[in-house]
Amino acid sequence: MSKSVIYWFRQDLRLADNPALLHAAHSGKTVIPIFIFDPDDRSLGMAASWWRQQSLAKLEAALKKIGGKLSFYEGRPVEVLQKLSDFYEADEIVWNRQYDGYSVSRDKEIKQTLPNSGTGNIECKSFNASLLFEPWLIQNKSGSYFKVFTPYWRQCMAGNAPEAPCPPPTELRSHPDVDPFQIPLPASPLTADADLIAEEWTPGEAGAYQQFENFIEEGLEIYAEFRDFPDRPATSRLSPYLRWGEISPRQIWSKIQFVKSHEKFSEQTISKFLAEIGWREFSHHLIYHVPEMATQNLQPSFNDFPWLENEEALLQWQAGNTGYPLVDAGMRELRRTGYMHNRVRMITASFLIKHLMIDWRAGEKYFWDRLLDACPANNITGWQWVAGSGADAAPFFRIFNPIIQGEKFDPQGAYTKRFIPELSHLEQKHLFSPWKVKSDNMDLDFQEGQYPDPIVEHGYARNRALDAFQQIRR
Ligand SMILES: Cc1cc2nc3c(=O)[nH]c(=O)nc-3n(C[C@H](O)[C@H](O)[C@H](O)COP(=O)(O)OP(=O)(O)OC[C@H]3O[C@@H](n4cnc5c(N)ncnc54)[C@H](O)[C@@H]3O)c2cc1C
Q: In the chain, where are the structural domains located? A: 4-129, 131-162+203-289, 300-473
8 is catalytic: no
Residue 126 labeled ligand binder: no
CA of 248 to the centre of ligand 1 (A): 15
- How far, CA to CA in Å, does 408 sit from each of 75, 245, 413, 452? 49, 34, 10, 22
CA of 342 to the centre of ligand 1 (A): 6
Full DSSP string of 152-181: HHHHHHHSPPPPPPPPPPS--PPPS---TT
Residue type, 11: Q
CA of 275 to the centre of ligand 1 (A): 11
**Rg of the chain over CA atoms, in angstroms?**
24
Nearest CA to ligand 1 atom 2: 382
Fold of 300-473: DNA Cyclobutane Dipyrimidine Photolyase, subunit A; domain 3 (1.10.579)
Catalytic residue among 74, 89, 221, 342: 342
pLDDT of residue 282: 98
CA of 273 to the centre of ligand 1 (A): 11
CA of 434 to the centre of ligand 1 (A): 30
Mutate to test the pocket of ligand 1, among 317, 378, 380, 383 (most ligand atoms within 8 A of CB): 378
CATH architecture observed for domain 131-162+203-289: Alpha Horseshoe (1.25)
pLDDT tens for the chain, residues 1 to 474: 579 999 999 999 999 999 999 999 999 999 999 999 999 999 999 999 999 999 999 999 999 999 999 999 999 999 999 999 999 999 999 999 999 999 999 999 999 999 877 666 899 999 999 999 999 999 999 999 999 999 999 999 999 999 999 999 999 999 999 999 999 999 987 888 999 999 999 999 999 999 999 999 999 999 999 999 999 999 999 999 999 999 999 999 999 999 998 777 999 999 999 999 999 999 999 999 999 999 999 999 999 999 999 999 999 999 999 999 999 999 999 999 999 999 999 999 999 999 999 999 999 999 999 999 999 999 999 999 999 999 887 888 889 999 999 999 999 999 999 999 999 999 999 999 999 987 665 544 455 458 999 999 999 999 999 999 999 876
383 is catalytic: yes
Full DSSP string of 346-398: HHHHHIIIIIS---HHHHHHHHHHH-TT--TTHHHHHHHHHHT-STTPPPTT-
Catalytic residue among 221, 276, 407, 457: 276
Residue 237 labeled ligand binder: yes
CA distance linking residue 215 with residue 267, whole number of Å: 16
Q: Are 454 and 462 in contact (CB under 8 A)?
A: no
CA distance linking residue 71 with residue 270, whole number of Å: 40
Ligand 1: lining residues by beta carbon, under 6 Å = 227, 235-239, 242-243, 276-277, 279-280, 283, 342, 345-346, 349, 367, 371, 373-375, 378-379, 382-383, 386
At residue 408, the 3 state secondary structure works out as helix
pLDDT of residue 442: 52
Q: Are 7 and 32 in contact (CB under 8 A)?
A: yes
Q: Count how many residues are written for the chain.
A: 474
368 is catalytic: no
342 is catalytic: yes
Catalytic residue among 360, 364, 379, 385: 360
303 is catalytic: no
Nearest CA to ligand 1 atom 7: 379
Q: Please report the atom of ligand 1 found closest to the CA of residue 373.
A: 9
CA distance linking residue 228 with residue 342, whole number of Å: 7
276 is catalytic: yes
CA distance linking residue 340 with residue 332, whole number of Å: 9
Catalytic residue among 307, 310, 321, 401: 307
Q: Are 78 and 109 in contact (CB under 8 A)?
A: yes
Q: What secondary structure letter does DSSP report for 5?
A: E
- Give the closest residue to 153 by CA, choosing from 4, 297, 273: 273
- Sheet with strand 71-74: strands edge to edge: 71-74, 30-37, 4-9, 90-96, 123-127
Nearest CA to ligand 1 atom 44: 280
Nearest CA to ligand 1 atom 50: 382
Residue 423 labeled ligand binder: no
Nearest CA to ligand 1 atom 5: 379
pLDDT of residue 444: 45
Q: What secondary structure letter does DSSP report for 36?
A: E
Residue 235 labeled ligand binder: yes
pLDDT of residue 263: 72
pLDDT of residue 395: 86
Mutate to test the pocket of ligand 1, among 373, 380, 385, 415 (most ligand atoms within 8 A of CB): 373
Q: Please report the atom of ligand 1 found closest to the CA of residue 236.
A: 30
pLDDT of residue 441: 57
Q: Are 177 and 203 in contact (CB under 8 A)?
A: no
pLDDT of residue 447: 54
CA distance linking residue 121 with residue 91, whole number of Å: 6
Fold agreement between 4-129 and 131-162+203-289: no
Q: What is the dihedral of CA 93, 94, 95, 99, to 10 degrees?
A: 80
* Sign, Cα dihedral of 214, 218, 221, 222: negative
Residue 334 labeled ligand binder: no
Residue 72 labeled ligand binder: no
Give CATH for domain 4-129: 3.40.50.620
